[in-house]
Amino acid sequence: MLPDKIGGSGEVRDRARATARRLVRAAAEEGAERGLRAVRSAIAAAPGASRSPRSAASPDRTPSA
């Protein structure tokens, strides 16, 4: 359910919308992370791909909790 579609009035509605926004954002971020991992795996498996550890780990990324 999209946050804008949550009806009602008052504080309960506002909290429900805020929670829905957080859940939608978290789901989108998780999907993006999975997609990025899939792309990196495909690149690493491609013929002629470098097998060095440096190319496998991106120095500008830190692990997310």
Distance CA(11)–CA(28), nearest Å, equals 26
Which residues, 6 or more positions from 4, have their beta carbon under 8 angstroms from its beta carbon? 17
Nearest to 16 by CA among 2, 28, 6: 6
Task: Please write the tens of the pLDDT for every residue from 15-63.
Answer: 888 888 888 888 888 898 888 888 888 888 877 666 554 544 555 555 5
What six digits make up the tokens of 28?
Answer: 């989108």
Question: How much is the pLDDT for 6?
Answer: 64
What six digits make up the tokens of 6?
Answer: 């949550």
